[in-house]
Amino acid sequence: MITVEEARALLFDLVGPLPSEQVPLAQSAGRVLSHAVVATRDQPPFAASSMDGYAVKADEVELHAMFKVVGESAAGRRFDGSVGPGQAVRIFTGAPVPDGADFVVIQEDTDRRGDLITITDHPGPKTNIRPAGVDFMAGTPITAPRLIRAEDVALMAAMNIAWVPVSRKPVIALISTGDELVMPGEEPGPDQIIASNTFGLRALLEGLGAVVRVLPIARDTVSSLETAFDLARGADLIVTIGGASVGDYDLVSDVSQGLAMDRSFYKIRMRPGKPLMAGRMGDTAMVGLPGNPVSAMVCGYLFLAPMVRRMLGLEMVLPPFHSARLTEPLTENGPREHYMRAVLGETGIQACADQDSSLLSVLAQANALLVRPPNDPARKTGETVQYLPI
């Protein structure tokens, strides 16, 4: 059995960054920028007023000074002339500052009678002018790789970047296995349960930016599993759920080997999720998750999520551990790394009472996985432990 870290290294060998594609700016949020993009213009493209007021010469600005208003500069409609001595141009936020002016007296500091304004309050040293290119200049880059957020979309729009190069979304085929499973919404027989973690994993993977193909549930027969693998063709990653252990009906290992899977490992020294297998089938990576709902989801966070991030070309593929103080003691841990379902609150973190790997209700209550190293001794209330937010 290998460690979580060793398993991750092997999993990363199975996948690599996917090619890039261009998407319209409006569809780029949540995607990963694959190549640097550069501004095609300066912003603002001209010296712009940051206030409503009057554009004048800075060296004429003093309390009680008077100016004659000779024109107007509005956003989108500049004043074409230039500002001479004793002159002012009425100006609004975002409007180009006219030639000859280098100061905007804010409206609140002036009094206007007809064409004449008087400065009625100390204007202070701030010019209220945003220099051309103060936000960014033509050629300013946004570097890649980068998960594109709403803020980045706004910046790219301002840079007049209409098409954005992003990593292609990884296509993941999800194969649920088991005679006992039916799809949500179907009528289960007396011995049947609903395929649940299939949908949990789908949500998790789609949230990370993958396209998920949920295939029909494979029955616990060789031919049904073979059909499922056949349907999964073309995916970047095939994920099976269940059938990966040592029971008579655990056929994923045999069937995948029969389909010439080049296995990279089987079984990890961790709880939950020991029977995890991985390998390659031709061009496609394959990961066999344990069927127990919590194990499958925990393996999703720990292994599938970093693989997706890697395929998307992100650099930070591993979620960083955080630390918190225990609000309840913990007993000694066994020889396997343990990812305990836990609740993180304002005063600290507490492991959930029942850690059975079938309990989705407990997983849904948890907002963290408390990480216990192998053979971690008993821990007292107040001690610091590590966790991963979920």
Nearer to Mg ion, 135 or 179 (CB): 179
Nearer to ligand AMP, 127 or 176 (CB): 176
The secondary structure element, H or E, covering residue 7 is helix 4-14
Contact 164, 25 (CB under 8 A): yes
Residue 53 site contact among ligand AMP, Mg ion, none (CB < 5 to 8 Å, cut-off depends on kind): none
Contact 387, 323 (CB under 8 A): yes
Q: Of the ranges 110-118, 144-152, 176-184, 271-279, which one interacts with Mg ion (CB under 5 A)?
A: 176-184
> For 94-196, where are the alpha helices, taking DSSP H only?
150-158
CA 115 from centre of chain: 55
Q: Of the ranges 112-120, 171-179, 329-337, 365-373, which one interacts with Mg ion (CB under 5 A)?
A: 171-179
Instruction: Read off the DSSP letter of residue 126.
Output: -
* Beta carbon of residue 321, minimum distance to ligand AMP (angstroms, whole number): 28
# residues contacting ligand AMP (CB under 6 A)? 20
* Beta carbon of residue 198, minimum distance to ligand AMP (angstroms, whole number): 4
The reply to whether 245 sits near ligand AMP by the rule CB under 6 A is yes
DSSP string, 297-343: HHHIIIIIHHHHHHHTT-S--SPPPEEEEBSS-BPPP-SSEEEEEEE
Q: Of the ranges 56-64, 240-248, 298-306, 334-342, which one interacts with Mg ion (CB under 5 A)?
A: 240-248
The reply to whether 50 sits near ligand AMP by the rule CB under 6 A is no
The reply to whether 290 sits near Mg ion by the rule CB under 5 A is no
Q: Which of residues 274-313 bind ligand AMP (CB under 6 A)?
A: 290-293
Q: Which of 93, 196, 221, 367 is close enough to bind ligand AMP by CB under 6 A?
A: 196
The reply to whether 242 sits near Mg ion by the rule CB under 5 A is yes
Angle at 279 between CA 276 and CA 282, to 5 degrees: 150
DSSP string, 127-150: --EEPTTSSB-TT-EE-SSEEPPH
* Beta carbon of residue 360, minimum distance to Mg ion (angstroms, whole number): 16
Query: How many CB atoms within 10 Å of residue 302?
Result: 24
Q: Which of 28, 197, 253, 284 is close enough to bind ligand AMP by CB under 6 A?
A: 197
Task: Name the residue with tokens 């289960």.
Answer: 188
Give the amino acid at 88. Answer: A
# residues contacting Mg ion (CB under 5 A)? 3
Residue 290 site contact among Mg ion, ligand AMP, none (CB < 5 to 8 Å, cut-off depends on kind): ligand AMP
CA nearest to 37, candidates 140, 123, 117: 140
The reply to whether 195 sits near ligand AMP by the rule CB under 6 A is yes
Q: Residues for the chain: how many in total?
A: 390
Q: Which of 83, 91, 142, 241 is close enough to bind ligand AMP by CB under 6 A?
A: 241
Q: Rule CB under 5 A: which residues touch Mg ion?
A: 178, 242-243
Q: Rule CB under 6 A: which residues touch ligand AMP?
A: 176, 178, 180-181, 193, 195-198, 241-245, 247, 250, 290-293
